[in-house]
Amino acid sequence: MMEVVFSDSAAGSLKCALGRKGVTESHVIGIIGGDGLTKAEQRARIQQAREQERRAWEQAVPLEGSPGDVLCFPLYESVGDISGEDIGPQREQVLKELLGTCPEGAEAAQAMAETGRQSLRRLMERAALGEPFRVWASGSPDEACGLCWLLEQLRPLGLESLSCTCVPLPPCREWEAGTLTAYQSWAEAEPHQWGRLAGEGRKLSPAWARMLQNRWRELQEENAPLRAVVNGRLVSVPEEFYDPFIAREIAVQGREFQEAVVVGRVLGRYRLGIGDGWVARRIEAFIQAGLLEAVTQPEKDEPGYHRILRKVVGERPTPCKPFFKWA
């Protein structure tokens, strides 16, 4: 069975789950921000994490399959122009713009687009022969868009001939140990969780698949700058859609602040299903609008948002003005 995911992180985690045979040695574990700990305390915490991972794998449901069957489409279809029918220069340009804050963003964008092209070729060839496939798609914008986009690509094969299982991701899951995990996308699922969550999968009926295909065509006709999931429905929205959340986090900062802190707070606090690239892109729009100005510049090998910004105080027309309290 082919396994379809929509991010490199999800692909890596799923490959690990498929390649795991029983309980073996844990993966490399490190400590971030452990400067205040003694060497003994660090060793104790690492040992505790290894023991937790070992117990998790003992309780895990095996997931049959091969890591080589994982097909990844890291295309961020919730962002940018989607009028094109293939993974061409148009989609690659959107990826470059999203990854523009990274030092090697252009190369990464090319690699992601090529990964998508190769995965689509393999899926089309094998699905045409009747091989079943499983799509892991959550309610995050990129994965919701990815599912609709993928089914539209498969239209030439005929819906009745497809053997597709769709695995949704629950917003949260309580495990036997009494722990509760909240999910935003499949990129957050740990390798030992995939087998248990696979039980949520349901066969995708032709009627349901047709509805998703048609929804993608509607979104293509609208071709908005952005797509979001609102009340469970995938809709076209303006590029300013997430600005109030970003502006709210800027408003609580001092006159000068680290842009990376705002990016992290937006991603962590609101869990909107967007990436750091989009948040940084909108903050850059605030700078171009005269709401902020750069005080420092990032080092050559650092992301573009590793800099200090300053609020520009003064009266000026802005969108979402109640949130721009420094203006």
For the stretch 183-233, pLDDT in tens is 889 999 999 999 999 999 999 999 999 999 999 999 999 999 999 999 999
Q: Is the pLDDT confidence value at 296 over 90?
A: yes
CA-CA distances (angstroms) from residue 285 to 80, 93, 243?
Answer: 15, 18, 10
pLDDT higher than threshold 70 for residue 12: yes
Q: List the alpha helices (DSSP H) in 60-154.
A: 89-98, 105-128, 141-153
CATH architecture for the domain at 243-323: Orthogonal Bundle (1.10)
For residue 105, which of 283, 265, 250, 298 has the smallest C-alpha distance?
298
Q: How large a percentage of the chain has pLDDT more than 90?
A: 72
Residue 323: pLDDT band with limits 50, 70, 90? low
End-to-end CA separation in angstroms for the chain? 55
What is the rounded average pLDDT of the residues 155-169? 94
Residue type, 76: Y
Would you kindly state where each structural domain of the chain is located, as residue ranges? 2-20+60-221, 243-323
